[in-house]
Amino acid sequence: MPGRRMLIGGALAAAAIRPAASQAWPDRPIRIIAPYAPGGQSDTVVRLLAPKMAEHLGQGIVIENRTGAGGSIGAGAVAQSPADGHTLLFESFAFLVVPFIVKGLTFDYETAFAPVGQAVALPYVLVVRHDFPAQDVAGFRAYAKAHPGVSYGTPGIGTVGHLAGALLERRAGIRLEHIPYRGGAESARDLAGGVIDAAIGTANTFGPLIQDGKVRGLALTSGERRGSLRSLPTIAESGFPGYDLTSWNGLFAPAGTPAPVMARLEAALLAATGDPATQERLTMAGNDVVTEGSAAFAARIQRERAVVKQIVAQTGLRAE
* pLDDT band (50, 70, 90) for residue 14: very low
State mean pLDDT over 67-85. 94
Q: Is the pLDDT of residue 19 over 80?
A: no
pLDDT at 183: 82
pTM of the model: 0.77
What is the full DSSP assignment across the chain? Answer: ----EEEE---HHHHHTS-GGGGGS--SPEEEEE-S-TTSHHHHHHHHHHHHHHHHHTS-EEEEE---GGGHHHHHHHHTS-SSSSEEEEEETHHHHHHHH----SS-HHHHEEEEEEEEEEEEEEEEETT-S-SSHHHHHHHHHHSTTEEEEESSTTSHHHHHHHHHHHHHT--EEEEE-SSHHHHHHHHHTTSSSEEEEEHHHHHHHHHTTSEEEEEESSSS--GGGTTSPBSGGGT-TT---EEEEEEEEETT--HHHHHHHHHHHHHHHT-HHHHHHHHHTT-EE----HHHHHHHHHHHHHHHHHHHHHHT----
Q: Is the CB of residue 11 less than 8 Å from the CB of residue 40?
A: no
Q: Is the pLDDT of residue 93 over 80?
A: yes
State mean pLDDT over 71-85. 96
pLDDT at 13: 39
pLDDT at 7: 53
Q: Is the CB of residue 42 less than 8 Å from the CB of residue 90?
A: yes
More confident residue, 23 or 39: 39
More confident residue, 239 or 10: 239
Mean of pLDDT over the chain: 90
* pLDDT band (50, 70, 90) for residue 103: confident
Classify burial at 63, counting beta carbons within 10 Å of its beta carbon; exposed 0-12, middle 13-18, buried 19 or more. buried
Query: Which structural domains are found in the chain, ordered by start?
Result: 5-121+248-315 (3.40.190.150), 122-238 (3.40.190.10)
pLDDT tens digit sequence for 140-155: 999 999 999 999 999 8
* pLDDT band (50, 70, 90) for residue 158: confident
Q: Is the pLDDT of residue 320 over 80?
A: no
Q: Give dist(CA 141, CA 148) in Å, integer.
A: 10
pLDDT at 229: 87
State mean pLDDT over 157-163. 87
State mean pLDDT over 41-48. 93
* pLDDT band (50, 70, 90) for residue 68: confident
pLDDT at 318: 78
pLDDT at 284: 84
Q: Is the pLDDT of residue 18 over 70?
A: no
Percentage of the chain beyond pLDDT 90 is 70
Q: Give dist(CA 167, CA 305) in Å, integer.
A: 16
pLDDT tens digit sequence for 198-254: 999 988 789 999 999 999 999 999 988 887 888 999 999 999 998 988 889 999 999
Closest residue by Cα to residue 120 from 90, 97, 96: 90
State mean pLDDT over 31-60. 94
pLDDT at 23: 52
State mean pLDDT over 277-289. 90
